[in-house]
Homo-oligomer: A and B are copies of this chain.
Amino acid sequence: MSDVLIREVGLRDGLQLVKNILPTEKKIKWLNKQSLLNFKEIEVTSFVPKKVVPQFFDAKIILNEANKISNLTSSVLVPNLFGAKKALELNAQKINYVLSASESHNKANVNKDVNSSINELSEIVNYNRNLEKNSKIGVAISTAFGCSIEGEISNLKVLNLVEKILKIGVDEITIADTVGYANPKQVRMLFKKLINLTDNLKIFAHFHDTRGLGIVNVLTAFDLGIRKFDSSLLGLGGCPFAPGASGNVATEDLIYLFNSMRVSTGINLEDLVILCKNISNFFPNEVVNGRILSAGIPKNYY
């Protein structure tokens, strides 16, 4: 068993902001190659309407491929009951339902108010409960620290949401700093309280490196007991409100952080860097935000 679980979200959050559609066979190659490196969980695609995010036109195919891989928990993002039903029909092992802490962001992202999103979550949970084979249900709280429309988001708002979600009953909650507003002080305050509300292993932390604080926020959460983190290969992803800004914390940098501190990830950094180089060839027009790829692994790195 590793000390931490790194969930790869590049195929979902990363690709969401990549301009060109990545061909299906390349997505499948990425998925298979990365799971071979001992990644235990990958968010593989998103069941959003094609007209909203054309990148995920092949969600069904990708999910089917992911289901063939043994020793992998795959999750898919869903924005509503419709997407959830589709994913559950296709035997998704885990669906990750997204809502925002910011009213304005929720409206912009899923076109409803936060209360309606919470009600829809109840419907999804009930729907899943009545199925023969239950899938795991996760909820991602977007803009949990700040929002490009509303500015800073208070911890209280997030904690209220978490209480409602826990009452409905889900398997996990992802706290997402969607646009890179979090700072370590805010992270410390929020996660301290979160850990009092629920089991630390129910929580995923999802940080972006938009303003350079991705890695420090990860370690701050880790120091408080959080053990599950999202990240994206090459730091793919970004922020639609800040073109050119960096996106998700880069998986390779996160693995480097933990491995260098002797916190076991189960992932070999050298193998990962090779994968990164291969995958970066898929994206000749994207900026690689991860640092370890350009700097190289330190000499005598164990």
Contact = CB atoms under 8 A, between A and B. Distances in A.
Contact of A183 (B147, B183, B185, B257): B257
Interface string A223-256: 0000000000000000100101110001001001
Contacts of A156: none
Interface string A282-302: 000000001110111011110
A151 B300 contact: yes
A260 B216 CA distance: 13
A185 B261 CA distance: 5
Interface of A, secondary structure class, is: loop
Contacts of A219: 184, 216, 220
B211 A256 contact: yes
B295 A180 contact: yes
A246 B294 contact: yes
Nearest to A145: B298
A300 B215 contact: no
A128 B18 CA distance: 59
A210 interface: yes
Contacts of A244: 294
A149 interface: yes
6 contacts: A181-B298, A186-B260, A211-B256, A212-B256, A213-B257, A216-B257
Given A212-B257, A216-B219, A245-B291, 8 more contacts: A151-B300, A210-B295, A211-B256, A211-B292, A211-B295, A211-B298, A213-B256, A244-B294
